[in-house]
Amino acid sequence: MKKCATTPRHAVDISEEAGVRQLHFGSDWVQGAMRIARPWSLELAYTREMMAGLLLRPESRWPRHALLIGLGAGSLAKFIYRNLPDCRITVVEINPQVEFIARQYFKLPDDPKRLDVVIGCGADYMLSGDRQFDYLLADGFDPDARAGALDTLPFYQACRSRLSERGLFCANLLGRNKSFQGSVDRIKAAFDNRVAVFPSCDSGNTIAFATGGDAVDVSLEEMRQHAARLKKETGLDLGPMMGRLQLAQPLPDGHLLI
């Protein structure tokens, strides 16, 4: 497997505009964001869509253990922490400065019993243990929007091996990037084509879901009903994603199958 770089040396910057605090890695590209008045909400569209796995596994108390590769501003970790109280969260982040800033400026909770931040390379972490996870979310990029070791076939194969039977893998891909199709092909190879690539957000981020265990077989009507409950209970609005999904994803007999 391709090796992770050593601890990044790039700047980690913060900006604020119109009530939104943003995280940057030495460039204008936004690595994370928080609306100051709503610190627990998912401000960026792609982070909301990474939580669409809750529609694919709509049973209660799923997931019980989530693994996040890449911390950023801590948006996904905070959302899970607040809204899925039965879920333990492990985050692997290569840059210790990012953890410090997430806690200091983005209200990342300090609760090691439920939220464990591991400083290290996500690719190395996947190969170094055998603990299994129900929800594995990969969202790690350098300042030049490159995922490096987190976008290789061995990494995706390792992710599959660390999923529980009900486990889902979710990756944030850059749909407008020339390497996008190669990323999709590697995920398909690792998961025997059991992959659903959701339509791109306005930002260009594209979310892919995959599983190697129990099949995903959920009807659009079930997804709509659960999306309505999620919006009522958590404020998470997946309605725009549902609309695009119906136009772009093959849905035999109105079901999403993975």
pLDDT at 202: 79
- Out of 54-58, 83-87, 249-253, pick the least confident: 249-253
Phi and psi, residue 230, nearest 5°: -60, -40
- Using one digit for the tens of pLDDT, what is the confidence trace for 7-49? 676 789 999 999 999 999 888 888 899 999 999 999 999 999 9
Query: Among 3.40.1160.10, 3.30.470.20, 3.40.50.150, 3.30.365.10, what is the CATH number of 45-234?
Result: 3.40.50.150
Residue type, position 254, single letter: G
Q: Answer for the pair 136, 108: CB distance below 8 angstroms, yes or no.
A: no
Which pLDDT score is estimated for 60? Answer: 86
Q: Which residue has the tokens 């050593």?
A: 6
Give the distance, in angstroms, between the CA of residue 246 and the centroid of all CA atoms in the same chain. Answer: 21
| Dist CA 43 CA 24 (whole Å) | 15
Mean pLDDT, residues 79-103: 97
Residue 66's identity, in one-letter code, is A
CA distance linking residue 144 with residue 148, whole number of Å: 10
Point out the least confidently predicted range of 11-15, 59-63, 147-151: 147-151
Q: Is the pLDDT of residue 117 over 90?
A: yes
Show me where the domains of the chain are located: 45-234
Q: How many angstroms separate the CA atoms of 141 and 150, rounded?
A: 8
Altogether, the residues listed in the chain come to a count of 258
pLDDT of residue 3: 58
pTM for this entry: 0.93
Active-site annotation holds for 139: yes
pLDDT digits (tens, 9 = 90+) for 183-232: 999 999 999 999 999 988 877 889 999 999 999 999 999 999 999 999 99
Q: How high is the pLDDT of residue 252?
A: 84
Both structure tokens of 242: 């549902």
When comparing pLDDT for 194 and 177, which is higher? 194
Alpha-carbon Rg for the chain in angstroms:
17
Q: Of 116, 130, 139, 185, which residue is the catalytic one? A: 139
| Position with higher pLDDT, 241 vs 136 | 136
Band (pLDDT 50/70/90 cuts) for residue 6 is: low
pLDDT at 5 exceeding the cut of 70: no
